[in-house]
Amino acid sequence: MILSMTGFGKSLSTFRGYAFESEVKSLNSRYLEITIKLPSSLQNKEYEIREALKNLIRRGKIFISLSVRPEENENETFFLNESKLNELLGIFAKIKTNYGISGEPSLDHIINFRDIFTPELDQLDSEHFEHLKQVVVDAVKQLNQMREAEGGELANDLSQRVRLIEDALSGIEEDYSGRVKEYYEELKKRVIEITGNNSINPERIEYEIAMLADKSDITEECVRLRSHLKFFLETIEKENEAGKKLNFICQEMHREANTLASKSLSTEAIHRSVLIRDEIERIREQVQNIE
């Protein structure tokens, strides 16, 4: 089952006097990039959180935010640490007294001190932190559920596009039935008309014309393209972390489609070749969204 690289997850929980909330979102990326936003007092725990996630996410640009506040304030969007605010105001008063500075602190001065919006987390112990990690993991699991659902939609879309390519390829093969032999006869007739010289070695002419006609045969390209299409569908159905492999298969399909277009001997085949290349390009764009 393939996974999309975009999604969102959120988890909330309370434990022994504290409320924990984590939000996770992911975007496309060639590699795994994790950005974690933690309360300042928990910055030293970032490595442990990353370790808890390493088996849950393998590719994508991941943004994780985590907030912790006393349980009685869990429904508040913003938190005001009154003890730190009082401490800050006390420092302002001391500065005024000791250094003879006039004036009063304004709201603009106060809000620049981010610590007054951060709850005291000194009482968090190892059990609190283990619970906090689980909240993050739960948010990532929700993210992966969304990514799996979107991956299913992507798989359906990609499968439909592969069927369109297969139908167009069948049309080209049908159009080409007997076309190379006709092309050979046309070339032979044209050479005779142009040269009008019976002294030219007829065996040499036959050989050169046969070589030109053979270069227009598309059997190998059709076989290889069908093989790539089959491998593509198998990868969608069975592979984990399929994005890089699918991208490589798209490159190979595009190469065969270009060769088909260059060898086409009829307008109908050219039109179908263009359709095939367009669908492969759309597939390649979609594959960029797959983990």
pLDDT digits (tens, 9 = 90+) for 33-54: 999 998 777 888 898 888 888 8
Which whole number is the average pLDDT over 167-190? 70
pLDDT of residue 265: 65
Q: Does the pLDDT value for residue 85 go beyond 80?
A: no
Structure tokens at 43: 């910055």
Answer yes or no: is pLDDT of 92 > 60.
yes
Domain residue extents for the chain: 7-78+121-146, 82-115, 149-287
Query: Looking at residue 80, what is its pLDDT?
Result: 60
> In the structure encoding, which two tokens stand for residue 173, read together?
């093969």
Which is higher by pLDDT, 78 or 28?
Answer: 28
Q: What is the pLDDT of the chain when averaged over all its residues?
A: 80
| Tens digits of residue pLDDT in 67-80 | 887 776 555 555 56
pLDDT per position as a tens digit, 186-241: 656 666 666 665 555 566 556 555 555 555 677 788 889 999 999 999 999 887 77
- Residue range 7-78+121-146 forms a domain whose CATH class is alpha beta
Report whether pLDDT(263) > 90: no
Burial class (CB in 10 A: 0-12, 13-18, 19+), 205: middle
Residue type, 155: A
Q: What is the pLDDT of residue 246?
A: 94
pLDDT at 134: 92
Do residues 78 and 117 touch, judged by C-beta distance below 8 A?
yes
Listed in sequence order, the residues at least 6 apart from 50 whose beta carbon sits closer than 8 Å to its beta carbon are 34, 36
Asked whether the beta carbons of 15 and 121 are under 8 A apart, the reply is no
Least confident of 50-54, 122-126, 201-205, 257-261: 201-205
